Protein backbone atom coordinates (compact mmCIF):
# COMPACT_ATOMS: atom_id res chain seq x y z
CA UNK A 1 0.00 0.00 0.00
CA UNK A 2 1.09 3.55 -0.76
CA UNK A 3 -0.05 6.15 1.77
CA UNK A 4 0.48 9.83 1.13
CA UNK A 5 -0.59 12.88 3.09
CA UNK A 6 -1.93 15.20 0.42
CA UNK A 7 -2.94 17.99 2.78
CA UNK A 8 -2.53 18.53 6.51
CA UNK A 9 -3.63 21.59 8.48
CA UNK A 10 -3.23 22.42 12.14
CA UNK A 11 -5.84 25.15 12.41
CA UNK A 12 -8.49 24.11 11.68
CA UNK A 13 -7.42 20.50 12.10
CA UNK A 14 -7.76 18.66 8.79
CA UNK A 15 -5.92 15.89 6.92
CA UNK A 16 -6.33 14.38 3.47
CA UNK A 17 -4.91 10.86 3.17
CA UNK A 18 -4.59 9.06 -0.15
CA UNK A 19 -4.32 5.24 -0.09
CA UNK A 20 -3.31 3.30 -3.20
CA UNK A 21 -3.99 -0.45 -3.40
CA UNK A 22 -4.33 -1.17 0.34
CA UNK A 23 -4.85 -4.66 1.72
CA UNK A 24 -7.79 -5.58 3.93
CA UNK A 25 -5.62 -5.48 7.06
CA UNK A 26 -4.23 -2.05 6.17
CA UNK A 27 -7.74 -0.74 5.56
CA UNK A 28 -8.89 -2.06 8.92
CA UNK A 29 -5.99 -0.23 10.61
CA UNK A 30 -7.01 3.03 8.93
CA UNK A 31 -10.65 2.38 9.81
CA UNK A 32 -9.78 1.86 13.46
CA UNK A 33 -7.71 5.05 13.50
CA UNK A 34 -10.50 7.23 12.07
CA UNK A 35 -13.49 5.32 13.40
CA UNK A 36 -14.77 4.12 10.03
CA UNK A 37 -17.63 1.65 9.77
CA UNK A 38 -16.57 -1.96 8.94
CA UNK A 39 -19.24 -2.46 6.25
CA UNK A 40 -17.95 0.54 4.31
CA UNK A 41 -14.43 -0.87 4.50
CA UNK A 42 -15.79 -4.06 2.91
CA UNK A 43 -17.27 -2.01 0.05
CA UNK A 44 -13.85 -0.44 -0.55
CA UNK A 45 -12.49 -3.84 -1.55
CA UNK A 46 -15.16 -4.44 -4.19
CA UNK A 47 -13.77 -3.14 -7.53
CA UNK A 48 -17.15 -3.39 -9.27
CA UNK A 49 -19.13 -1.19 -6.89
CA UNK A 50 -21.21 1.56 -8.50
CA UNK A 51 -21.46 5.14 -7.13
CA UNK A 52 -23.18 5.26 -3.76
CA UNK A 53 -23.72 7.45 -0.71
CA UNK A 54 -23.82 6.10 2.82
CA UNK A 55 -23.87 8.29 5.95
CA UNK A 56 -22.56 7.07 9.30
CA UNK A 57 -22.22 8.65 12.70
CA UNK A 58 -19.27 11.02 12.54
CA UNK A 59 -18.38 10.44 8.90
CA UNK A 60 -19.77 9.79 5.43
CA UNK A 61 -18.79 7.18 2.87
CA UNK A 62 -19.22 7.69 -0.88
CA UNK A 63 -18.06 5.84 -3.98
CA UNK A 64 -17.52 7.58 -7.28
CA UNK A 65 -16.23 6.30 -10.60
CA UNK A 66 -13.91 8.31 -12.87
CA UNK A 67 -13.33 7.60 -16.54
CA UNK A 68 -10.12 5.67 -17.15
CA UNK A 69 -7.97 7.69 -19.56
CA UNK A 70 -6.14 4.49 -20.57
CA UNK A 71 -9.29 2.47 -21.28
CA UNK A 72 -9.45 0.44 -24.49
CA UNK A 73 -11.57 2.25 -27.14
CA UNK A 74 -13.53 -0.98 -27.60
CA UNK A 75 -14.37 -1.28 -23.89
CA UNK A 76 -18.05 -1.66 -23.11
CA UNK A 77 -18.31 -2.48 -19.39
CA UNK A 78 -18.23 -0.28 -16.29
CA UNK A 79 -15.09 -1.97 -14.99
CA UNK A 80 -13.23 -1.52 -18.29
CA UNK A 81 -14.22 2.11 -18.82
CA UNK A 82 -13.95 3.54 -15.30
CA UNK A 83 -11.99 3.30 -12.06
CA UNK A 84 -13.51 3.35 -8.60
CA UNK A 85 -12.62 5.92 -5.94
CA UNK A 86 -13.79 5.31 -2.38
CA UNK A 87 -14.01 8.44 -0.21
CA UNK A 88 -14.42 8.75 3.55
CA UNK A 89 -14.86 12.24 4.91
CA UNK A 90 -15.66 13.90 8.18
CA UNK A 91 -15.24 17.34 9.64
CA UNK A 92 -11.49 16.87 10.18
CA UNK A 93 -10.41 14.32 7.56
CA UNK A 94 -10.83 13.12 4.01
CA UNK A 95 -9.55 9.73 2.83
CA UNK A 96 -9.38 8.63 -0.80
CA UNK A 97 -8.85 4.94 -1.60
CA UNK A 98 -8.18 3.51 -5.06
CA UNK A 99 -6.39 0.55 -6.60
CA UNK A 100 -4.29 2.29 -9.27
CA UNK A 101 -2.74 5.70 -9.80
CA UNK A 102 -5.00 8.03 -11.75
CA UNK A 103 -3.60 11.08 -13.58
CA UNK A 104 -6.52 13.40 -12.82
CA UNK A 105 -6.30 12.64 -9.10
CA UNK A 106 -2.51 13.03 -9.08
CA UNK A 107 -2.91 16.44 -10.77
CA UNK A 108 -5.44 17.55 -8.14
CA UNK A 109 -3.22 16.35 -5.31
CA UNK A 110 -0.21 18.17 -6.78
CA UNK A 111 -2.27 21.34 -6.93
CA UNK A 112 -3.05 21.16 -3.22
CA UNK A 113 0.46 20.11 -2.27
CA UNK A 114 1.95 23.14 -4.02
CA UNK A 115 0.71 25.82 -1.64
CA UNK A 116 -2.95 24.91 -2.11
CA UNK A 117 -3.56 25.17 1.62
CA UNK A 118 -3.07 28.93 1.54
CA UNK A 119 -6.24 29.39 -0.53
CA UNK A 120 -8.46 27.20 1.67
CA UNK A 121 -11.12 28.75 3.91
CA UNK A 122 -10.32 28.98 7.62
CA UNK A 123 -13.87 29.15 9.01
CA UNK A 124 -15.78 26.84 11.31
CA UNK A 125 -16.61 24.39 8.50
CA UNK A 126 -12.96 24.01 7.57
CA UNK A 127 -11.58 23.12 4.14
CA UNK A 128 -13.47 19.83 3.81
CA UNK A 129 -16.36 21.15 1.60
CA UNK A 130 -13.99 22.85 -0.84
CA UNK A 131 -11.62 19.89 -1.10
CA UNK A 132 -14.47 17.42 -1.56
CA UNK A 133 -16.22 19.57 -4.18
CA UNK A 134 -12.96 19.93 -6.12
CA UNK A 135 -12.47 16.18 -5.93
CA UNK A 136 -15.97 15.48 -7.27
CA UNK A 137 -15.62 18.07 -10.04
CA UNK A 138 -12.26 16.65 -11.12
CA UNK A 139 -13.72 13.13 -11.28
CA UNK A 140 -16.64 14.38 -13.37
CA UNK A 141 -14.35 16.24 -15.77
CA UNK A 142 -12.77 12.93 -16.77
CA UNK A 143 -15.97 12.13 -18.70
CA UNK A 144 -15.84 15.26 -20.88
CA UNK A 145 -13.05 14.34 -23.30
CA UNK A 146 -14.33 10.78 -23.93
CA UNK A 147 -17.80 12.15 -24.68
CA UNK A 148 -16.35 14.78 -27.03
CA UNK A 149 -14.37 12.02 -28.78
CA UNK A 150 -17.54 9.95 -29.12
CA UNK A 151 -19.34 12.98 -30.57
CA UNK A 152 -16.57 13.41 -33.18
CA UNK A 153 -16.77 9.73 -34.17
CA UNK A 154 -20.55 9.85 -34.47
CA UNK A 155 -20.25 12.92 -36.72
CA UNK A 156 -17.72 11.07 -38.88
CA UNK A 157 -20.06 8.09 -39.20
CA UNK A 158 -22.92 10.42 -40.11
CA UNK A 159 -20.91 12.19 -42.83
CA UNK A 160 -19.77 8.86 -44.24
CA UNK A 161 -23.28 7.48 -44.15
CA UNK A 162 -24.76 10.34 -46.18
CA UNK A 163 -21.78 10.83 -48.49
CA UNK A 164 -23.44 8.66 -51.14
CA UNK A 165 -20.75 5.98 -51.29
CA UNK A 166 -21.93 2.37 -51.23
CA UNK A 167 -20.20 0.46 -48.46
CA UNK A 168 -19.23 -3.15 -48.91
CA UNK A 169 -20.73 -5.76 -46.65
CA UNK A 170 -17.73 -5.95 -44.35
CA UNK A 171 -17.38 -2.17 -44.10
CA UNK A 172 -21.07 -1.82 -43.34
CA UNK A 173 -20.88 -4.49 -40.62
CA UNK A 174 -17.76 -2.83 -39.18
CA UNK A 175 -19.47 0.58 -39.00
CA UNK A 176 -22.57 -0.94 -37.47
CA UNK A 177 -20.49 -2.72 -34.83
CA UNK A 178 -18.51 0.45 -34.05
CA UNK A 179 -21.68 2.52 -33.61
CA UNK A 180 -23.09 -0.16 -31.33
CA UNK A 181 -19.94 -0.03 -29.15
CA UNK A 182 -20.22 3.76 -28.92
CA UNK A 183 -23.88 3.43 -27.97
CA UNK A 184 -23.00 1.00 -25.16
CA UNK A 185 -20.27 3.32 -23.89
CA UNK A 186 -22.59 6.33 -23.85
CA UNK A 187 -25.29 4.29 -22.13
CA UNK A 188 -22.85 3.31 -19.38
CA UNK A 189 -21.61 6.89 -19.01
CA UNK A 190 -25.17 8.18 -18.76
CA UNK A 191 -26.04 5.56 -16.13
CA UNK A 192 -22.95 6.39 -14.06
CA UNK A 193 -23.58 10.13 -14.28
CA UNK A 194 -27.15 9.58 -13.09
CA UNK A 195 -25.83 7.71 -10.05
CA UNK A 196 -23.20 10.40 -9.50
CA UNK A 197 -25.96 13.02 -9.58
CA UNK A 198 -27.76 11.17 -6.80
CA UNK A 199 -24.54 11.07 -4.77
CA UNK A 200 -23.89 14.79 -5.23
CA UNK A 201 -27.47 15.70 -4.31
CA UNK A 202 -27.18 13.75 -1.07
CA UNK A 203 -23.73 15.12 -0.30
CA UNK A 204 -24.90 18.73 -0.71
CA UNK A 205 -25.52 20.28 2.74
CA UNK A 206 -28.71 22.19 3.45
CA UNK A 207 -26.88 25.21 4.85
CA UNK A 208 -23.39 26.61 5.09
CA UNK A 209 -20.68 27.96 2.83
CA UNK A 210 -20.35 24.60 1.07
CA UNK A 211 -23.81 24.81 -0.51
CA UNK A 212 -22.74 26.91 -3.57
CA UNK A 213 -19.74 24.63 -4.13
CA UNK A 214 -21.82 21.46 -4.27
CA UNK A 215 -24.55 23.18 -6.29
CA UNK A 216 -21.85 23.91 -8.87
CA UNK A 217 -20.88 20.22 -8.85
CA UNK A 218 -24.54 19.31 -9.28
CA UNK A 219 -24.86 21.63 -12.29
CA UNK A 220 -21.79 20.00 -13.84
CA UNK A 221 -23.24 16.52 -13.39
CA UNK A 222 -26.54 17.59 -14.92
CA UNK A 223 -24.82 19.19 -17.93
CA UNK A 224 -22.68 16.10 -18.52
CA UNK A 225 -25.71 13.86 -18.12
CA UNK A 226 -27.60 15.97 -20.67
CA UNK A 227 -24.61 15.73 -23.03
CA UNK A 228 -24.57 11.93 -22.66
CA UNK A 229 -28.33 11.82 -23.29
CA UNK A 230 -27.87 13.76 -26.55
CA UNK A 231 -25.07 11.44 -27.63
CA UNK A 232 -27.23 8.41 -26.90
CA UNK A 233 -30.03 9.85 -29.05
CA UNK A 234 -27.52 10.49 -31.85
CA UNK A 235 -26.15 6.94 -31.62
CA UNK A 236 -29.66 5.45 -31.68
CA UNK A 237 -30.56 7.62 -34.68
CA UNK A 238 -27.43 6.54 -36.56
CA UNK A 239 -28.15 2.88 -35.84
CA UNK A 240 -31.73 3.24 -37.05
CA UNK A 241 -30.64 5.10 -40.20
CA UNK A 242 -27.92 2.53 -40.84
CA UNK A 243 -30.42 -0.31 -40.58
CA UNK A 244 -32.90 1.62 -42.75
CA UNK A 245 -30.22 2.07 -45.42
CA UNK A 246 -29.44 -1.64 -45.27
CA UNK A 247 -33.12 -2.39 -45.70
CA UNK A 248 -33.25 0.07 -48.61
CA UNK A 249 -30.30 -1.63 -50.31
CA UNK A 250 -31.99 -4.99 -49.88
CA UNK A 251 -35.16 -3.53 -51.36
CA UNK A 252 -33.21 -2.26 -54.37
CA UNK A 253 -31.78 -5.73 -54.99
CA UNK A 254 -35.22 -7.30 -54.65
CA UNK A 255 -36.65 -4.68 -57.06
CA UNK A 256 -34.06 -5.54 -59.73
CA UNK A 257 -34.68 -9.24 -59.32
CA UNK A 258 -38.43 -8.65 -59.48
CA UNK A 259 -38.07 -6.67 -62.71
CA UNK A 260 -36.07 -9.49 -64.31
CA UNK A 261 -38.57 -12.07 -63.15
CA UNK A 262 -41.48 -10.05 -64.57
CA UNK A 263 -39.69 -9.82 -67.94
CA UNK A 264 -39.08 -13.54 -68.11
CA UNK A 265 -42.38 -14.75 -66.64
CA UNK A 266 -44.50 -14.33 -69.83
CA UNK A 267 -41.63 -15.66 -71.93
CA UNK A 268 -41.47 -18.73 -69.73
CA UNK A 269 -45.23 -19.09 -70.11
CA UNK A 270 -44.98 -19.07 -73.92
CA UNK A 271 -42.07 -21.52 -73.88
CA UNK A 272 -44.04 -23.76 -71.55
CA UNK A 273 -47.00 -23.85 -73.93
CA UNK A 274 -44.86 -24.85 -76.89
CA UNK A 275 -43.08 -27.41 -74.79
CA UNK A 276 -46.27 -29.47 -74.42
CA UNK A 277 -46.36 -32.71 -76.43
CA UNK A 278 -49.68 -32.39 -78.29
CA UNK A 279 -50.07 -33.86 -81.77
CA UNK A 280 -52.34 -31.09 -83.03
CA UNK A 281 -50.30 -27.86 -82.85
CA UNK A 282 -50.51 -26.59 -86.45
CA UNK A 283 -48.09 -23.65 -86.05
CA UNK A 284 -45.29 -26.04 -85.18
CA UNK A 285 -45.26 -27.27 -88.75
CA UNK A 286 -45.52 -23.83 -90.35
CA UNK A 287 -42.46 -22.19 -91.87
CA UNK A 288 -43.24 -18.93 -90.06
CA UNK A 289 -44.05 -20.57 -86.68
CA UNK A 290 -40.65 -20.17 -85.00
CA UNK A 291 -39.98 -16.55 -86.07
CA UNK A 292 -43.58 -15.61 -85.26
CA UNK A 293 -43.20 -16.88 -81.69
CA UNK A 294 -39.86 -15.07 -81.34
CA UNK A 295 -41.45 -11.84 -82.59
CA UNK A 296 -44.32 -12.35 -80.13
CA UNK A 297 -41.88 -12.82 -77.26
CA UNK A 298 -39.96 -9.68 -78.30
CA UNK A 299 -43.19 -7.68 -78.48
CA UNK A 300 -44.26 -8.90 -75.03
CA UNK A 301 -40.85 -7.93 -73.61
CA UNK A 302 -41.04 -4.49 -75.28
CA UNK A 303 -44.57 -3.94 -73.98
CA UNK A 304 -43.49 -4.79 -70.42
CA UNK A 305 -40.49 -2.48 -70.72
CA UNK A 306 -42.60 0.43 -71.99
CA UNK A 307 -45.18 -0.13 -69.27
CA UNK A 308 -42.52 -0.19 -66.53
CA UNK A 309 -40.91 2.93 -67.98
CA UNK A 310 -44.28 4.72 -68.09
CA UNK A 311 -44.91 3.82 -64.45
CA UNK A 312 -41.43 5.02 -63.44
CA UNK A 313 -40.38 1.69 -61.96
CA UNK A 314 -37.12 1.54 -63.90
CA UNK A 315 -35.77 4.81 -62.53
CA UNK A 316 -33.14 4.74 -59.80
Tally of residues, the chain: 316
The residue among 219, 247, 275 that closes a domain is 247
Residues 240 and 256 in one domain: no
Residue 23, domain extent: 2-247
Instruction: Classify residue 316: in a domain, yes or no.
Output: no
Domain count of the fold of the chain: 2
CATH code (residue 302): 1.20.58.340
Residue 146: predicted pLDDT: 92
pLDDT in tens, the chain (316 residues): 677 888 888 877 888 899 988 888 888 888 888 888 888 877 787 778 899 999 988 889 999 999 998 888 888 888 889 999 999 998 889 999 998 888 999 998 888 888 655 566 555 566 888 889 999 999 999 999 999 999 999 988 888 877 766 655 667 677 778 888 899 999 999 999 999 999 999 998 888 788 899 999 999 999 999 999 999 999 998 888 877 777 767 777 787 777 778 777 888 887 777 777 666 677 766 777 778 778 888 888 888 888 877 777 776 5
pTM of the model: 0.77
Residues 268 and 161 in one domain: no
Instruction: Classify residue 37: in a domain, yes or no.
Output: yes
Amino acid sequence: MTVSIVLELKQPAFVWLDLVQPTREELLDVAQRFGLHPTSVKDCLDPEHLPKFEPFEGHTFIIIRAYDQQADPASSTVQELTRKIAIFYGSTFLITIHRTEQPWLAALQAKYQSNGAARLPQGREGPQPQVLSHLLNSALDTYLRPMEAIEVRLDEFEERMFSGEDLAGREFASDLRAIHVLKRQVTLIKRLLWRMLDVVQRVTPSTGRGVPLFRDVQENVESYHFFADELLDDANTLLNVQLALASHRTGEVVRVLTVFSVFFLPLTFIVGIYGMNFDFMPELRQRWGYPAVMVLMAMVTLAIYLWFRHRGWLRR
